[in-house]
Chains A and B, each alone.
Chain A
């Protein structure tokens, strides 16, 4: 029980202290050169970003700073959660969902320093 409590506290601490900002302008651009990632970025911008702007909080909570594994994200997209609607296969196809999850994983890691511009 103690382990559970400590893990929960550490989780909450990390959530409270970390930033959900990713990519430009705070960091280097999100690496979207791979076609699947780029396609996932379009899916993200079509369905997700209005409530989770850039993966940060807005109408809905942020997810960039949350340790959500891919299968949970996939489950949440397909089935919804709370007020979040479900996005069924007719809306986001299985291929698009694969691309979306790949993009979100890339987005969550986009915390590299900005490259110093050539002077």
Chain B
């Protein structure tokens, strides 16, 4: 009996210690990343299910974000040309020959990041993030001639113009992320860099909304003056109760579509935060990965996962007042020691649906694609690249989150690891001092569906609020099934 009591005491003590979130310091992958210019690569450091094998297709890329394939199955990659950490470079479209030799096909302007690419009817389509002059959808010929299908998309802030992908209707679908974490411009946006360049930029709703009188006071990082700011306003502009914010197209946190050669933009759905990955399932349904709120800024939100949504035409998905279909109506999403977020909109356009899947808090679940090949396996499941946490900038975590590729049964929301670094703990390769995955940002199946390409952005470190991405550390991996 005495032993039982002692063991119970141990259990309770253990549970208390393990559960004491407030007492622990953050221990994420970004802060644990080791900066290196000479990244070792070893496919055998990546754990895969039995029967699968990985290889390196290309290395020494700078901030790669996506791949595409032409009719012949030739691999092309894009380098973003911008990274968090305010690193501006020229974005590039690169042909990757078998064996890994790289040839530059096209070079863009200092307005990255190029976040995604697709190939359709003989041309490439690229989403240009728009950090300097606004987002664009570019058309690039195989000879490298670049033209804009649309410009001035409102993606000068925290998140960018994303996608694109071609739907079964032949239209081009793309995403636009929000300017801010949760609707209110503040010093966190100054730290990101964009608020210095674009002091008047803010979020734009897709249709007219009426908001409550919630104003947030922060200290301007340079002038040290108090700044009172309301939602959907420039930094330092307050709102009144019942103020109507006019909607517009294009807007923030939305998925839009247009013809493959341009034309009028149509709203597909809105109320996302950062709809990064867009892909159509084999049954024709559109799915989108959405990066959840961070624990930062004037209106901090805690404990929010990333989400995979099945997109319904015209639906509102909840930003800035819901997370994963749950309303901000109590202390459920309260950052410890801060005020719980309260609803901003007086009336919500709809009750958001439940997500198709819930992914790790701060996992930065980004690019996705669907398996269509029985030969590769897991037909109809979504594969999602998890870039990995940016802790502590996005909030505190107890261990690295993400840094791997997962597969999702979109029928029941079950998430299973597919490619993850070997070792007792999950972490980016540089933290483990191994040669495996660092920051998977996109996944794409080859046209025949038999190979999964993983785009690995490379090394990125976060410390004391400073983000440091490492050039020439990006990699493209290829996973194939060798035995059944």
Contact B15 A53 (CB under 8 A): no
Nearest A-chain residue to B419, judged by Cβ: A25
The docked-state distance in angstroms from the alpha carbon of A4 to that of B8 is: 11
| Chain B residues whose C-beta falls within 8 Å of the C-beta of A21 in the assembled complex | 420, 424, 426
Nearest B-chain residue to A116, judged by Cβ: B50
Contact A50 B22 (CB under 8 A): no
Question: Is A51's CB within 8 Å of the partner chain B?
Answer: yes
The docked-state distance in angstroms from the alpha carbon of A114 to that of B51 is: 10
Question: Is B398's CB within 8 Å of the partner chain A?
Answer: yes
Q: A42-B414, A117-B484 are in contact. Are A82 and B19 (CB under 8 A)?
A: yes
One digit per residue, 1 when the CB lies within 8 angstroms of any chain B CB and 0 when it does not, for chain A 50-68 equals 1101101111111000111
Nearest A-chain residue to B396, judged by Cβ: A59
Q: A51-B361, A117-B483 are in contact. Are A60 and B21 (CB under 8 A)?
A: yes
The docked-state distance in angstroms from the alpha carbon of A67 to that of B50 is: 28
Q: A25-B49, A58-B361 are in contact. Are A76 and B6 (CB under 8 A)?
A: no
| Chain B residues whose C-beta falls within 8 Å of the C-beta of A83 in the assembled complex | 19, 21-22, 302-303, 336
Distance in angstroms from B431 CB to nearest chain A CB is: 14
The segment from B162-170, B206-214, B352-360 found at the interface with A is: B352-360
Q: A42-B412, A45-B413 are in contact. Are A57 and B398 (CB under 8 A)?
A: yes
Distance in angstroms from B474 CB to nearest chain A CB is: 23
The docked-state distance in angstroms from the alpha carbon of A58 to that of B361 is: 7
| Chain B residues whose C-beta falls within 8 Å of the C-beta of A66 in the assembled complex | 14, 18
The docked-state distance in angstroms from the alpha carbon of A115 to that of B483 is: 12
Nearest A-chain residue to B408, judged by Cβ: A45
Question: Is B351's CB within 8 Å of the partner chain A?
Answer: no
Question: Is B401's CB within 8 Å of the partner chain A?
Answer: yes
Q: A18-B424, A83-B336 are in contact. Are A59 and B6 (CB under 8 A)?
A: no
The docked-state distance in angstroms from the alpha carbon of A44 to that of B185 is: 35
Question: Is B194's CB within 8 Å of the partner chain A?
Answer: no
Contact B10 A59 (CB under 8 A): no
Contact A24 B483 (CB under 8 A): no
Contact A24 B49 (CB under 8 A): yes
Question: Is B84's CB within 8 Å of the partner chain A?
Answer: no
Question: Is A33's CB within 8 Å of the partner chain B?
Answer: no
Question: Is B268's CB within 8 Å of the partner chain A?
Answer: no
Q: Which of B3, B6, B398, B424 contacts A58 (CB 8 A)?
A: B398
Q: Could you tell me how many residues of chain B have their Cβ less than 8 Å away from some Cβ of chain A? A: 56
Distance in angstroms from B400 CB to nearest chain A CB is: 8
The docked-state distance in angstroms from the alpha carbon of A7 to that of B6 is: 9
One digit per residue, 1 when the CB lies within 8 angstroms of any chain A CB and 0 when it does not, for chain B 220-239 equals 00000000000000000000
Q: Which of B49, B336, B399, B414 contacts A114 (CB 8 A)?
A: B49
Contact A25 B11 (CB under 8 A): no
Contact B360 A115 (CB under 8 A): no
Nearest A-chain residue to B330, judged by Cβ: A85
Contact A84 B50 (CB under 8 A): no
Q: Which of B15, B357, B419, B426 contacts A76 (CB 8 A)?
A: B15
Question: Is A31's CB within 8 Å of the partner chain B?
Answer: no
The docked-state distance in angstroms from the alpha carbon of A54 to that of B413 is: 13
Name B344-380 residues within 8 Å CB distance of A: 357-363
Question: Is B158's CB within 8 Å of the partner chain A?
Answer: no
One digit per residue, 1 when the CB lies within 8 angstroms of any chain B CB and 0 when it does not, for chain A 21-61 equals 10111100100000000000110011001110110111111
**Taking each of A15, A53, A82, which has the highest tally of chain B beta carbons within 10 Å of its own beta carbon?**
A53
| Chain A residues whose C-beta falls within 8 Å of the C-beta of B417 in the assembled complex | 23-25, 54
Question: Is B305's CB within 8 Å of the partner chain A?
Answer: yes
| Chain B residues whose C-beta falls within 8 Å of the C-beta of A56 in the assembled complex | 399, 426
Name B3-33 residues within 8 Å CB distance of A: 3, 6-7, 9-11, 13-16, 18-22
Q: Which of A3, A24, A58 contacts B416 (CB 8 A)?
A: A24
Contact B426 A4 (CB under 8 A): no
One digit per residue, 1 when the CB lies within 8 angstroms of any chain A CB and 0 when it does not, for chain B 441-484 equals 00000000000000000000000000000000000000000111
Q: What are 18 A-B pairs with beta-carbon distances under 8 A?
A: A7-B7, A8-B13, A15-B14, A20-B425, A21-B424, A24-B417, A25-B419, A26-B47, A54-B415, A58-B401, A59-B360, A59-B362, A59-B397, A60-B21, A66-B18, A68-B11, A115-B50, A117-B484
Additional 9 contacts, C-beta under 8 A, given A26-B422, A58-B398: A4-B9, A11-B14, A21-B420, A42-B414, A45-B357, A54-B417, A60-B21, A66-B18, A85-B332
Chain A: residues with CB nearer than 8 A to chain B? 3-4, 7-8, 11, 15, 17-21, 23-26, 29, 41-42, 45-46, 49-51, 53-54, 56-62, 66-69, 72, 76, 81-85, 114-119
Nearest 4 CB-CB pairings of A with B = A50-B305, A57-B399, A117-B51, A117-B483
